[in-house]
Structure 1
Amino acid sequence: MVSKVKRLLIGRPRKSTELEQEKLTKVKALAVLSSDALSSVAYGTEQILLVLVAAGFTAIWYSLPIALAVLALLAILILSYRQTIYAYPQGGGAYIVAKNNLGVSTGLLAGGSLLVDYILTVAVSASAGTDAITSAFPSLHNHSVGIAVTVILILTIINLRGVTESASFIAIPVYLFVVAIVVLILSGVVKYMTQGSHAAVPEIGTAVSNVSLFLLLKAFSSGCSALTGVEAVSNAIPNFKAPSEKNAAKTLMMMGVLLGFMFTGITLLAYWYGITPNEKATVVSQIAESTFGRGGIYFIIQGLTAVILFLAANTAYSAFPLLSFMLAKDKYLPHAFMIRGDRLGFSNGIIFLGVLSALLVAAFHGHTENLIPLYAVGVFIPFTLSQLGMMIRWYRLKPSGWRTKFIINTIGMLTTLTITLIFIITKFANVWMAFLFLPIVMFIFMRIHRHYQNTADELRIQLDKDKPCIKGSTVIVPVSGVTRAVLHSISYAKSLTDNVVAVYIGFDEEEIHKMEQKWEEWNPGVRLIVLRSRYRSIIRPLLKFIDTVEWKTSATDHITILIPQFITKHWWQAALHNQTSILIRTYLMNQKDVVVATVPFHLHK
C-alpha cells in the first residue's frame, strides 16, 4: 500500500544512467533558480515603503533613490557571482569559496547561514503567497497556516519527482508571472502618462524634517531583501546541462535583467500612484487595482503573484539539497544527505527542508514577516564571505586580468558588508537570533565531523598487521516456549555449530516445571538452561548469563545470540503480540560486544 502511494506521488524509480537527463536547460533553470529572486518584486518595494511611511506620506519619494541603490547592488552581485561561477564550476557558491580561501570555520559559517536562509525562504515564501491569496479573498484569512503548510507539502512532493519534472511544472507559472508584471508595468506607465495620478504625490526632493540617515539606511536594508536568492545559481551549477558554467552565467545575467526591470517598474508605479503599505492589500495588489480596477486582470495578477510567492520556495528546494550534499561529503552533515532518491534527487535534503519550514510556519502561525530581515541577514553574510574569498583567490593566484576581478569583488565585499552591518544595527530586534542559532549550527557541524573522524579512526585497520581472528562459535537461543519459530531457529543454529544452548527465563516455578517437561519430551538435541527471574525481568538474567559465557569462552569462541521472531501476515497483527525479541535485540546491540541475529518465521494465516 505504502509503495503504491509512493509510486503515485513521485513516479517510477529512475536508473543512475538517466542522471544526465535531469540536467536543466537555461529556460528551465531560470524558472527554478530565479523564482525566489523574481518573487521579491512582490514585497521588495513594500519593505522600503513600510519603513519610509513611519516618517509620513511625504517621505515616500525617497523610495526612488533607495531603489536605485538596490539596483546598483544587484549589478555588483550579478558581476561578482558570475566570476564565482567560472572560478568554481563544481558549485557550492559561498560555502566552497569561503572554505577554500578563508578556512573551514568561515566556510561552515557561510554554509550554515545559507542552509538556515533556505529554510526561512520556504517559510516566508509560503506565508507571503498565502497573504496574497487572503488579500483577494479575506474570508480565507483564518486558514492561512493550513494553506501555507499544504503548499509546502505540494512543493516537497513535486521536487521529490526530480529536478526536470519540477522545472517543467514551475516554468509555466513563473514565466506567466513575469509576463503579468511586465504588462502591469507597461499598462501602469501608459495610464500614468495619459491620465496622470489621482493621488497627491510628494515631489522628488521635497524636504522631510523627520527623515534621518538611520531611517534611510533602514529602508535601504529592507529593500535589499529583494536580492535574496541571487546566489542560488552559483550553488546549483551541477544541475545545468553542459557547458554548465556558461549556461549558469547566462542564466544569472538574465535573472539580473528581469529582476532589475520589474523591481524598478513596481517602485516607480508605487510612487506615481501614491501607494502606501496596507494590512489588507499588498502594494502589487493596490497597483493592479489602480491600473485595471478590481476585475478579471486584477485577479489574474493576484493569482499569479500568489503562485510565484509560493514557487519562490522552489529555489530553496533546488539549492538546499545540493549544499547539504556538499556539506555531507565533507562530513559536516549526516551521510544520508548524499543519497539520491528514486528520482535521482537528494530526497533526504528535500524532505528535511519541507518538514522544518512547515514547522516554522506553524510556530509563527503564518505571520513570518518578522523573519524577512533575519533571512536577509542569513544571505548577506554568505554574500560578504564569498566576495572576500574571491578577493583572496585573485590576489593569491593572480590570473590574467585579476586586478579587474579583484576590484569587482572588493566593491561587492565592501557593499555587502556595509548592508550586513546596517541590517544588524537597524533591525537588531529582528536579527539577534542569528547570533544564537548560527554558532549552534556550526557547533552541530563540528560535532558531526568529529564523530565521523572518530568512527574512521576506530574502524581503520593496518593492512600488514590486522588479520581475521579464527575462533569457534557459541550460539545462545533465547526461547519462550516450544514452538515452530524456536524449531526453525534451533535448526539454523545447529547448521552453524554443535555448540548451541537454549535459554528460558521463567517467572514462577509452575511455568518453569512445565517448560522443562515439554523440552525433555521434545528433545531437540540442545541443552536447555533455565534462568529464574524474581523481578520478572528478561534482560537482566540474560545479560548475566551472557557475561558468564563470555568469561568462559571469549578466548576461544565468538558468541552469537540467535533470536527467534515470528512475522505476522498483516502489519497490524504485530501489535497483538509482545515484541520481546525486538527489546532484547536493541538492548544487546547497544550494551554487549556479541553478535545478535534474528531468525524470522513467517505466519501465513
Structure 2
Amino acid sequence: MHPHQTDNGGLLQRGRRLLFGAPKQLQDPHLFHRMALIPILAWVGLGADGLSSSAYGPEEAFRALGGHAYLALLLAAVMALTVFIISYAYSRIIEHFPHGGGGYIVATHLLGEGAGVVSGSALLVDYVMTITISIASCCDAIFSFLPVAWLHYKVPVAGVLTVLLIILNIRGVKESVTVLAPIFMTFVATHILMLIYGVFSHSDRFAPVVRDFGAGLHRDVSSIGLLGMFLLFLRAYSLGGGTYTGIEAVSNGLQIMREPRVQTGKRTMLYMATSLAFTASLILLCYLLVAVTPVEGKTLNAVLADALFSHWPLGRALAFVTIFSEGALLLVAAQAGFVDGPRVMANMAIDSWFPHRFAALSERLTMRNGIVLMGIAALALLFYTGGSVSALVVMYSINVFITFSLSQLGMSRFFIQRRREDPQWRRHLAVHLVGLLLCVTILVITTFEKFAEGGWMTLLITAVVIALCYLIKNHYRRVRRGIAQLDETLLDFPTAGPVNHAPVNRQEPTAIQLVSGYSGFGVHTLLSILTTFPHTYKNIIFTSVAVMDSGSFKGAEEVAALERAVIADLEKFVDLARRLGLAADYRMAVGTDVVETASGLCQQLAEVFPRTTVFTGQLTFRLEKFYHKMLHNETAFAIQRRLQWSGVTTVILPIRVKT
C-alpha cells in the first residue's frame, strides 16, 4: 500500500467523521438512553410536522368557506375536536404497539399484509411530500422578503436545504432535533403572542361574531337549505384536512423516544394535540375577529400578523419574525419525513417489501439508506415541480388519510374481536369508529375535489410503489423457497465417525467460515469447503456478526437477546463440524455494518491463525438480472475485496438457488 493512499484514506475517513459524526459504540450501556428523545424534544422533532400545518390548513379551510366566513366559528371548534379525537385514537395505538405504532405496523398486524403494504406505501409517498412541500414553503416564506430578481435561486436554495437535512439526519435524530429546536420555539412564542393578543384585543367583537353566525345560518338555510349548508361546511372542513397530517408521526416514531416509551409517546402526543388544536382553532377565530381578507402575494397568516402588530413599536419587525418563523418551522417539519419515512421503509424491508439493505443502520445508528433515498426522492420532486407549493399541496393530503383510515379501521376491528376480554371495548371502539368516519370523509372529499388538480398523480405514484413492493416481495419469496429446500435437505445432515473434541491448533491450516444464522445455506458452504478442499483444513472457525438493524435496535435487552441467538447458532455449527471430524470454534461481534465488522474480525483471526483461508457463500442465479444486486447485497464480494487487499486469502463459494 502506498503511503499517500493511506493518507488519502485517513483524510477521507476524517472528513466523513467531521460531516456525519463519529460511530456510536454499541457496547455503551447508556447508548439508548442518550440517543432517545425526551417528550419536549420529541415534540420538536415529530410535532413540528403537525404544528406547521397550521400555516396552510386553516387558511385552506377558511378560503373554502367563501362568502360564508361566519361558519369559521363552528369550523374552529370542530377542527380542534378532530385533532383531539385523532390524537386520542393514536394514543390508544401507542399503548397497543409500544415499539412503534405507525400506520404500516397497525394495518399489517390488524388487517393483514395487503392493507399493510398499501398503508406503508401511502405513508412513504406522504413523507416525501412532507419533505418537499415543507422545504418549498420555507423557501417561499424566505424569498417573499427578498427582491423578485432573486426568485430563480429559490429551487437551488431548497435543494441545498434538503442536502443539509440529509446530513443532519445521518448524524442522528437527537442531533438534528437539537439544531432545529430554536426555530420551533421561536414559532411557538411568536404565535402564542399573536393569537392571544388577537383574541383579547378584539374581545369586543365576540358578540357581533356570534350574532353574525346566527343571522348567516338563518339566511343560508332559507336560501340553500340545511343539506346545502352541511355539504358546504363539510367541503371546507375536508379541504382543511392538511391540518391533521402530522398527527401520525408520534406513534410512528416511538422507537426513538426515551423509556418508558409508552408514557413518553402519550405525553408527546398530548403536547402536539394541544398545541395544534390551540393554534389552528385560534387562527380561524382570529380571521373572524380581525375580519381578515385575502391580499395578493400574502398568506392569510401574514395579513393577520400585519393587522395585529402594525400599531406596535417595532410591529412590522415582529410581524416579520412571526411569519418568518412560520416559514422556518416548515423546514423543521421536513424533519418528520426524514425521521419517520426511513423507519417505515425499514419496517417494510424487514418484511421483504423493500430491499433488505433499507433495514440496515449506519455507524451512527441511523437508517442512512432510507434517509438518502427519501432525500433523493424529495429533490427529484422539488426540481420536477419547480418548488411550486400550489402544485405540491394538492398532492399532499390524500395519502395520509389513506393511512389514517386503515389504522382506525384496524383498531375498530381489534376492539370488536376483544369484546369478551376488554370490559371497556365499547368506549374504545366508539373513539376509533368516530376517527374512522372523520378520516374516510376527509379522504373521499379531498380526493374528489383535488383529483383533477394533481391528486391523480399522488394516487398513481402510490400505486407504482405498491406494485414495486409486490414484485420485490414475490422475488424474496421465490428465493426463500429455494433456501427452504436447502434447509430441508441439510439441517438434519447425518454424520458418522468419531467426534473431534480436540481444541483448535493455531499452527494447523484453518478455514474461517462466515455464517449468518444456522441454516442450510451455511451447512452447504461447510460441505463445499470439505468436498472442494478434502483433508486440507484441520480447524474451522465459524464467524458471525450480530447485525443491529432497525428491527433489533430497540434497547439494550434486544441487543443482548440478539447476541444470545447468534451464539446459539454458532454453537450448532461448531457441533456439526466436530461431528464431521474437525476441530472447531466460533467468534462473533456486534455491529451495524456487516462488511466492516466481519472484515475486522477475520483480520484479527488471521493474525492468530497464520495459515488461514476465509470462506463465505454467495447466492447465484442462473440468469443474473439487473435488480439482483439491489435486492441481494454484495456482502461476500465486498468482504473479499477488503480481506484480499489486507493479504488474507478469501474464497467465495456459489450457492445455487432456483427462483
Match status 1:283 vs 2:300: yes
In the alignment, which of 456, 469, 472 is matched to residue 432 of structure 1? 456
Check whether the contact 1:361–1:368 (CA below 8 A) recurs between aligned residues: no
Q: In structure 2, what is the equivalent of residue 563 of structure 1?
A: none
Q: 1:203 to 1:322 in 2, by over 3 A?
A: same
Q: In structure 1, what is the equivalent of residue 364 of structure 2?
A: 343
Q: 1:601 to 1:101 in 2, by over 3 A?
A: closer
CA offsets, 1:224-277, max 9 Å, x none? 111011011111111111110111011101111111111112111122222233
Match status 1:184 vs 2:194: yes
Q: In structure 1, what is the equivalent of residue 321 of structure 2?
A: 300
**In structure 2, distance between residues paired with 1:366 and 1:292:** 30
**In structure 2, distance between residues paired with 1:231 and 1:299:** 31
**In structure 1, distance between residues paired with 2:298 and 2:130:** 22
Q: Give the aligned residue type for 1:348.
A: N
Q: In structure 2, what is the equivalent of residue 550 of structure 1?
A: none
Q: In structure 2, what is the equivalent of residue 572 of structure 1?
A: none
**In structure 1, distance between residues paired with 2:95 and 2:645:** 56
Q: In structure 2, what is the equivalent of residue 366 of structure 1?
A: 387
Match status 1:171 vs 2:192: no
Match status 1:464 vs 2:492: yes
**In structure 1, distance between residues paired with 2:211 and 2:330:** 31
Match status 1:330 vs 2:351: yes
Match status 1:250 vs 2:273: no
Check whether the contact 1:135–1:282 (CA below 8 A) recurs between aligned residues: no
Pairwise CA distance, 1:401 = 1.3
Q: In structure 1, what is the equivalent of residue 144 of structure 2?
A: 135
**In structure 2, distance between residues paired with 1:425 and 1:266:** 27
Check whether the contact 1:122–1:316 (CA below 8 A) recurs between aligned residues: yes
In the alignment, which of 41, 47, 69 is matched to residue 60 of structure 2? 47
Q: In structure 2, what is the equivalent of residue 81 of structure 1?
A: 90
Pairwise CA distance, 1:590 = 5.0
Alignment of structure 1 residues 144-223 onto 2, 5 Å? 144-193=154-203, 203-204=212-213, 205-206=215-216, 207=219, 214-223=231-240
Q: In structure 2, what is the equivalent of residue 418 of structure 1?
A: 441
CA offsets, 1:363-410, max 9 Å, x none? 100113233243211111111110110111111123231111011111
**In structure 1, distance between residues paired with 2:230 and 2:392:** 24
Q: 1:88 to 1:427 in 2, by over 3 A?
A: same
Check whether the contact 2:53–2:244 (CA below 8 A) recurs between aligned residues: yes
Q: In structure 2, what is the equivalent of residue 544 of structure 1?
A: none
Check whether the contact 1:384–1:416 (CA below 8 A) recurs between aligned residues: yes
Check whether the contact 1:128–1:309 (CA below 8 A) recurs between aligned residues: yes
Q: In structure 2, what is the equivalent of residue 6 of structure 1?
A: 16
Check whether the contact 1:377–1:431 (CA below 8 A) recurs between aligned residues: yes
Q: Give the aligned residue type for 2:140.
A: D
Q: In structure 2, what is the equivalent of residue 447 of structure 1?
A: 471
Pairwise CA distance, 1:133 = 1.5
Q: In structure 2, what is the equivalent of residue 318 of structure 1?
A: 339
In the alignment, which of 105, 108, 119 is matched to residue 114 of structure 2? 105
In the alignment, which of 57, 65, 69 is matched to residue 60 of structure 1? 69
Pairwise CA distance, 1:152 = 1.3
Q: Give the aligned residue type for 1:229.
A: G
CA offsets, 1:140-187, max 9 Å, x none? 433221222222111111111111111211222212211110001122
Pairwise CA distance, 1:92 = 3.8
CA offsets, 1:303-325, max 9 Å, x none? 21111011111111111121111
**In structure 1, distance between residues paired with 2:145 and 2:69:** 25
TM-score by length of 2: 0.68
CA offsets, 1:19-65, max 9 Å, x none? 44211101100111100100011112211233233xxxx32222232
Q: 1:410 to 1:600 in 2, by over 3 A?
A: closer
Match status 1:114 vs 2:127: no
Q: In structure 1, what is the equivalent of residue 424 of structure 2?
A: 401
Q: 1:2 to 1:356 in 2, by over 3 A?
A: farther
Q: In structure 2, what is the equivalent of residue 90 of structure 1?
A: 99
In the alignment, which of 392, 408, 412 is matched to residue 413 of structure 2? 392
Q: 1:5 to 1:358 in 2, by over 3 A?
A: same
Q: In structure 1, what is the equivalent of residue 377 of structure 2?
A: 356
Check whether the contact 1:132–1:282 (CA below 8 A) recurs between aligned residues: no
- Alignment size in residue pairs: 483
Q: Give the aligned residue type for 1:5.
A: G
**In structure 1, distance between residues paired with 2:100 and 2:187:** 28
Pairwise CA distance, 1:70 = 2.0
Check whether the contact 2:385–2:391 (CA below 8 A) recurs between aligned residues: no
Q: 1:151 to 1:201 in 2, by over 3 A?
A: farther
Q: Give the aligned residue type for 1:380.
A: F
Q: Give the aligned residue type for 1:322.
A: R
Q: In structure 2, what is the equivalent of residue 28 of structure 1?
A: 41
Pairwise CA distance, 1:73 = 1.5
Q: Secondary structure at the match of 2:362?
A: coil
Q: Give the aligned residue type for 2:162.
A: I
CA offsets, 1:432-463, max 9 Å, x none? 23432222211111111122222233334222
TM-score by length of 1: 0.74
Q: Give the aligned residue type for 1:71.
A: A
Q: Secondary structure at the match of 1:136?
A: coil
Q: 1:357 to 1:440 in 2, by over 3 A?
A: same
Q: What is the root-mean-square deviation of aligned Cα atoms in Å?
A: 3.0
**In structure 2, distance between residues paired with 1:48 and 1:278:** 17
Check whether the contact 2:76–2:285 (CA below 8 A) recurs between aligned residues: no
The answer for unaligned runs of 5 or more in structure 1 is 474-494, 497-585
Check whether the contact 1:387–1:410 (CA below 8 A) recurs between aligned residues: yes
Pairwise CA distance, 1:588 = 12
Pairwise CA distance, 1:216 = 3.4
Q: 1:141 to 1:272 in 2, by over 3 A?
A: farther
Q: Secondary structure at the match of 2:258?
A: coil
**In structure 2, distance between residues paired with 1:415 and 1:282:** 27
Pairwise CA distance, 1:192 = 2.4
Alignment of structure 1 residues 435-584 onto 2, 5 Å? 435-460=459-484, 461=486, 462-465=490-493, 468-469=527-528
Q: 1:202 to 1:302 in 2, by over 3 A?
A: farther
Check whether the contact 2:239–2:442 (CA below 8 A) recurs between aligned residues: no
Q: In structure 1, what is the equivalent of residue 283 of structure 2?
A: 266
State which structure, 1 or 2, has the greater radius of gyration over its C-alpha atoms: 1
Check whether the contact 1:93–1:235 (CA below 8 A) recurs between aligned residues: yes
Q: 1:410 to 1:31 in 2, by over 3 A?
A: same
**In structure 2, distance between residues paired with 1:108 and 1:278:** 43
**In structure 2, distance between residues paired with 1:417 and 1:325:** 27
Check whether the contact 1:38–1:258 (CA below 8 A) recurs between aligned residues: yes
Pairwise CA distance, 1:124 = 0.8
